[in-house]
Amino acid sequence: MVSEKKKPVEEVSGWLRVFDDGSVDRRWTGPPEVQFMVKPVAAHDEFVDGVSTKDVIADKSSGLRVRIYLPEQKPENNDTKLPIILHFHGGGFCISQADWYMYYHIYTKLSRSTNAIVISVYQRLAPEHRLPAAIEDGYSALLWLRSLARGEQNEPHLSHADYNRVFLIGDSSGGNIVHHVAAQAGTADLSPLRLAGGIPIHPGFVRAERSKSQLEQPQSTFLTLDMVDKFLGLALPVGSTKDHPITCPIGPEAQPLGNLKLPPFLLCVASKDLLIDTEIEYFEAMKKANKDVELLINEGVSHSFYLNKIAVDMDPETAAETERLIAGIKQFIKNH
């Protein structure tokens, strides 16, 4: 008997298809000129443009992997301790990988510019692994760093790491992970590791009801309303709405911000982002709760603009705003 062909039950604008048997196809089906940005970049021990990369297993029991970006040091700086930037990638909790070119091109640049070690987490993806899986992976990576700081484990690539200056950074939905991992870390003893700061970039903060910016700002390759609705529908715990604390840390279901012990934050937003209204609402709520939070606004650009290598190369405005973003992050890290 011939088995019936599986049928797609959900499709998200070029990025993902879910089938009736539960399988997921994440092959890119959008414009072919964008394809190179979603291709993996192999790790390389040698320094390329001043950065070496290595994939390691951070948690043997779960198989959790991370990618380490190590900036090259001049011989006279060989004793310098380097801050750590723990990175959570975006993709609406449903797509993308730590080794995609779109992250490689910007996080090699950030590692070089800040002279910091970037560690990017290969998070589990929904719908196979619904939330809070990605947040658990982010927190596990932080606990791995704590075990290295305590000398319980060893990773030669991190021999120059300064565990007293660990920063969290995340793009889009990775920005949500920054908030929740930082909040969880505030309840734990991480010593001798110190969480020095959090940097959510264009976090996926939304409410169940559409905001004005969602209705009025232009949609882009990296964020459409279709992506917001469908990715979060596939990622949030079954039966949840966008008012869930993971996507709405300022909503009635979330813990009051005033109750959280958080490190200093640098919230990065783009003026043409569909999500800017809720992001600014988060900034105002953080201020009201007396949290140490700074705001960096990139003008004239949209969601995750800096990951779009084509725009960064071809559009002087996008290139200039990317440099401003990197400079702002560099200054924040220097100050903390």
Q: Summarize pLDDT for 4-34 with one digit per residue, the tens.
A: 688 999 999 889 999 999 999 999 998 999 9
Distance of CA 125 to the CA centre of its chain: 13
Classify residue 193 by its DSSP letter: -
User: Which contiguous run of DSSP H or E holds residue 102?
Assistant: helix 101-114
- Which stretches of the chain drop beneath a pLDDT of 50? 1-2
Catalytic residue among 87, 180, 202, 303: 303
The verdict on whether omega for the bond into residue 127 sits within 30 degrees of 0, i.e. cis, is yes
The predicted structure's pLDDT at residue 182: 98
Is-catalytic flag, 89? no
Q: In b/e form, how buried is each residue of 281-317, taking b as 16+ CB within 10 angstroms?
A: bbbebbeeeebebbbbbbeebbbbbbbbbebbeebee
Q: Regarding beta strands 82-88 and 161-171, do their DSSP bridges make them parallel or antiparallel, or are they unpaired? A: parallel
Q: Per the structure block, which two tokens stand in for 228?
A: 């917001």
Candidates 3.40.50.10860, 3.40.630.30, 3.40.50.11900, 3.40.50.1820; correct CATH number of 41-335?
Answer: 3.40.50.1820
Q: Give all strands (DSSP E) within the chain, no chain letters.
A: 8-12, 16-19, 24-25, 51-59, 64-71, 82-88, 117-121, 161-171, 195-201, 265-270, 293-298
Catalytic residue among 179, 273, 277, 302: 273
pTM: 0.97
Q: Per the structure block, which two tokens stand in for 39?
A: 């291709």
Is-catalytic flag, 273? yes
Classify residue 213 by its DSSP letter: H
Catalytic residue among 172, 173, 302, 304: 172
Classify residue 259 by its DSSP letter: G
Bridge partners of 167, per DSSP, are 85, 197
3-state DSSP of 260-329 = CCCCCEEEEEECCCCCHHHHHHHHHHHHHCCCCEEEEEECCCCCCHHHCHHHHHHCHHHHHHHHHHHHHH
Q: Where in the chain is the domain with CATH 3.40.50.1820?
A: 41-335
The predicted structure's pLDDT at residue 2: 47
- Give ∠ CA 232-298-132 in degrees, rounded to 5: 25
9: exposed, middle or buried (Cβ count in 10 Å: 0-12, 13-18, 19+) = exposed
